[in-house]
Amino acid sequence: MRFFNTAGPVNCQDHYCIPPLTRFNLPEILMLIKQKKYFVLHAPRQSGKTSCMLALRDYLNHEGRYQALYINVEIAQTARNNVGRGIKAILSQLAHVSENLFSDPSPLENRASIFEENGEDAALGVALSLLCRVSTSPLVLIIDEIDSLIGDVLISVLRQIRAGYTKRPKLFPSSVILCGVRDIHDYRIHSEIEKEVITGGSAFNIKAESLRLGNFTKEETRTLLLEHTKETGQEIEEEAIKSVHLLTMDQPWLVNALAYEACFKIEDGIDRSLPITQSLVMEAKERLIQRRETHLDQLADKLKEERVRRVIEPILSGEGKPEIIPEDDIWYAEDLGLITTKGQLRISNPIYQEIIPRILTYST
């Protein structure tokens, strides 16, 4: 029996889902890939980036014109500024995923010697070239959680990819998609080694485009909720659907979390002979806020940052004029998904609106 997923990427066999490939402009992405472009896909936390990228990988591999590899480089985050450690972690991840794609043995079986012979500043580039050599069709590399990397490791990864760019498509990935919360262009990366701040734009000046994955549409929220009715026969009242939309403004994780709480946790909601009502949705919202699930906790983390507070506090007090908040800070808060700049500057949705002041009160 399927359910509303609130932990990690969706899998349409197990979870109610909006088919991930319909959530972005697939023809546009395929065009960029055809043009051998390197580009960025970014969106706030838990909005479906990984689900979309995994679906894209499978689509490309199934279609057959490309071989697509997906890696998540989050494991290299703890290396911080230690480039050697970071690159080794990424190489082992790359070896692991390429085992599935290429026939045994993995082309990166000897990654330790690749690292020894080429050093930390070149080993990743060499490994990627090696994969392209054995690939029967142009390689598309999807790198997820790129902005979990810090300092010199991030700089090194970006530069090694940039250095191979001119060798594509034969000896380097034909396309690279960098996936993260922020647009790479806006990174200010503190280099311990060079003792200066390197901007993402300068370390990776080959980026062709930045695509942003949005929230669900109102229609998608509705479709997702009605998946539950299709599966179980339980009615979800129109007013309840409307409340989910209004409370979450269609933020994908919030929609799932609210619906899961209402349909799978609250006693009256579990009884499939009773409809899901607006008041059940309101109760679900209260419970979510009380529990401060991981997603909401991540907000708390962001609110510790001075530049985020510079934007949020004036919005909450209603005193600040948007024109005196630094524009960079507004973009940052918007990339994080905390605020929306559409129309009036405001907090993204009523659930954040309710929880943010509480977090700020606890932490002062």
Ligand X SMILES: Nc1ncnc2c1ncn2[C@@H]1O[C@H](COP(=O)(O)OP(=O)(O)OP(=O)(O)O)[C@@H](O)[C@H]1O
Distance CA 81, CA 85 (A): 9
Contact partner, 20, from Mg ion, ligand X, none, Cβ < 5-8 Å per class? ligand X
Q: CB of 98 within 8 A of CB of 106?
A: yes
Stretch that binds Mg ion, among 45-53, 107-115, 130-138, 260-268 (CB under 5 A): 45-53
Residue with tokens 């004036």: 314
Which residues of the chain form contacts with ligand X (CB under 6 A)?
5-10, 17-18, 20, 23, 43, 45-51, 224, 252-253, 256
User: DSSP letters along 2-69, please?
Assistant: -B---SSS--TTTB----GGGSS-HHHHHHHHHTT-EEEEE--TTSSHHHHHHHHHHHHHHH-SSEEE
Contact partner, 252, from ligand X, Mg ion, none, Cβ < 5-8 Å per class? ligand X
Q: CB of 165 within 8 A of CB of 38?
A: yes
Exposure b/e, 246-256, CB count within 10 A at least 16 = b: ebbbbbbbbbb
Nearest approach, Cβ of 72 to Mg ion (angstroms)? 7
Residue number, 156 or 221, with CB nearest to ligand X: 221
Which of 293, 292, 291, 305 is closest to 336 using CA atoms?
305
Contact partner, 41, from ligand X, Mg ion, none, Cβ < 5-8 Å per class? none
Stretch that binds Mg ion, among 43-51, 166-174, 261-269, 352-360 (CB under 5 A): 43-51
Nearest approach, Cβ of 136 to Mg ion (angstroms)? 29
Nearest approach, Cβ of 8 to Mg ion (angstroms)? 8
Contact partner, 47, from Mg ion, ligand X, none, Cβ < 5-8 Å per class? ligand X
Distance CA 230, CA 208 (A): 42
Q: Would you state the structure tokens that stand for residue 205, as one six-digit string?
A: 């000046």
Contact partner, 256, from ligand X, Mg ion, none, Cβ < 5-8 Å per class? ligand X
Phi, psi of 198 (to 5 degrees): -105, 135
Nearest approach, Cβ of 41 to Mg ion (angstroms)? 11
Exposure b/e, 220-234, CB count within 10 A at least 16 = b: bbbebbebbbeeeeb
Nearest approach, Cβ of 179 to Mg ion (angstroms)? 7
Stretch that binds Mg ion, among 35-43, 49-57, 112-120, 216-224 (CB under 5 A): 49-57
Residue number, 45 or 272, with CB nearest to Mg ion: 45
Residue number, 52 or 79, with CB nearest to Mg ion: 52
DSSP 332: H
Q: Would you state the structure tokens that stand for residue 177, as one six-digit string?
A: 């998609």
Measured from each CB, the residue nearest to ligand X is 48
Residues 265-324 that bind Mg ion (CB under 5 A): none
Please tell me whether residue 67 binds Mg ion under the rule CB under 5 A: no
Please tell me whether residue 50 binds Mg ion under the rule CB under 5 A: yes
Nearest approach, Cβ of 13 to ligand X (angstroms)? 12
Interface positions with Mg ion (CB under 5 A): 49-50
